[in-house]
């Protein structure tokens, strides 16, 4: 059973470009969460999604950031017009219906903005 | 919303000694308390968790205790080994809400 898959693992963008990060949850999991981790810091919640629905986006900046989890395909975190402060590791996690809240993390996508 | 405080931020122990990391939380509705281990450049991995209907849980060298009245929970690692060196995060949630994490404890086990 494959774990949570994230790609790309590393992404370099110049200021003003767009970044798209993808996450495929574990098989059988329908809950997806995105967290951001700055160097030497903890994990900050960004957004919680189920298929085709955003459940909680209270941790996501109102501008430039968006997330989706379509009926088919992976969840996508999109960052428009990136700035240097967006440089971080972005982790996706998933959980099942029966054990919602018990999160399994992917290996993360490390975004560097030049 | 929930707020989780974790301490110490760094901890050094001699190999074979015990390590204790403590967390407090603010939301009395929280009922799920996992601990994650993150090695450098790797993903956070769930190592143990506890739910509010129990006070203590043990898995080999690691154990977690929960005091719901005081709203704090702790991770205990006995007989530490160099491979236990990592950053450890506590977290809390109501079970069906996103986990709120502490800021982490960097544990160094000195051989």
pLDDT at position A6, please?
Answer: 97
pLDDT at position B37, please?
Answer: 98
Q: What is the dihedral of CA A93, A94, A99, A103, to 10 degrees?
A: -10
A71-91: average pLDDT: 96
Among B93, B95, B101, beta carbon nearest to A43: B101
In three-state secondary structure terms, B86 is: strand
Residue A55 distance to chain B (closest CA, Å): 9
* φ and ψ at residue B16, rounded to 5 degrees: 95, -20
pLDDT at A100 > cutoff 90: no
Among A42, A102, A105, beta carbon nearest to B43: A105
Q: Do A102 and B32 touch (CB under 8 A)?
A: yes
Sequence-distant (≥ 6) Cβ neighbours of residue A66 within 8 angstroms: A60, A77, A78, A80
Q: Do B46 and A104 touch (CB under 8 A)?
A: yes
pLDDT at position A101, please?
Answer: 79
Q: What is the dihedral of CA B67, B23, B52, A106, to 10 degrees?
A: -160
Please state, for a pLDDT cut of 90, what percent of chain A lies above it.
Answer: 82
| Separation between Cα atoms, residue B87 and residue B85, nearest integer Å | 7
Confidence of residue A2 (pLDDT cuts 50, 70, 90): confident
Interface of B with A in 19-58 (CB under 8 A): 32, 34, 36, 42-46, 49
Confidence of residue A97 (pLDDT cuts 50, 70, 90): confident
| Separation between Cα atoms, residue B35 and residue A99, nearest integer Å | 16
pLDDT tens figures, A3-56: 999 999 999 999 999 999 999 999 989 999 999 999 878 899 999 999 889 999
Q: Which residues of chain B have pLDDT under 70?
A: none
Sequence-distant (≥ 6) Cβ neighbours of residue A62 within 8 angstroms: none
Selected for mutation to probe chain B from A6, A29, A43 (highest B CB count within 10 Å) is A43
- In chain B, the largest separation of any two C-alpha atoms, in whole Å, equals 41
| Separation between Cα atoms, residue A72 and residue A49, nearest integer Å | 14
Q: Do A102 and B46 touch (CB under 8 A)?
A: yes
| Separation between Cα atoms, residue B30 and residue A32, nearest integer Å | 20
| Separation between Cα atoms, residue B20 and residue B78, nearest integer Å | 9
pLDDT tens figures, B40-52: 989 999 999 999 8
Confidence of residue A1 (pLDDT cuts 50, 70, 90): low
């Amino acid at each position: 059973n494959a774990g949570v898959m994230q790609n790309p693992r590393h992404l370099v963008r110049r200021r003003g470009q767009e970044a798209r990060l993808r996450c495929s949850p574990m098989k059988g999991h329908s809950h997806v969460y995105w967290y951001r981790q700055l160097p030497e810091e903890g994990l900050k919640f960004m957004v919680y999604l189920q298929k085709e629905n955003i459940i909680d986006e209270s941790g996501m900046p109102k501008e430039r950031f968006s997330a989706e989890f379509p009926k088919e395909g992976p969840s996508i975190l999109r960052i428009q017009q990136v700035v240097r402060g967006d440089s971080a590791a972005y982790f996706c996690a998933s959980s099942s219906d029966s054990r919602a809240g018990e999160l399994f993390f992917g290996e993360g996508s490390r975004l560097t903005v030049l | 919303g929930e707020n989780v405080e974790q301490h110490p931020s760094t901890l050094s122990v001699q190999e074979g000694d015990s390590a204790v990391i403590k967390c407090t939380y603010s939301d009395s509705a929280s009922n799920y308390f996992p601990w994650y281990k993150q090695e450098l450049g790797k993903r956070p991995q769930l190592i143990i968790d506890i739910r509010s209907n129990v006070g203590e849980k043990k898995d080999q060298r690691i154990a977690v205790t929960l005091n719901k009245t005081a709203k704090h929970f702790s991770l205990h690692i006995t007989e530490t080994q160099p491979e236990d060196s990592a950053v450890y995060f506590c977290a809390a949630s109501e079970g069906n809400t996103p986990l709120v994490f502490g800021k982490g404890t960097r544990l160094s086990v000195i051989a």
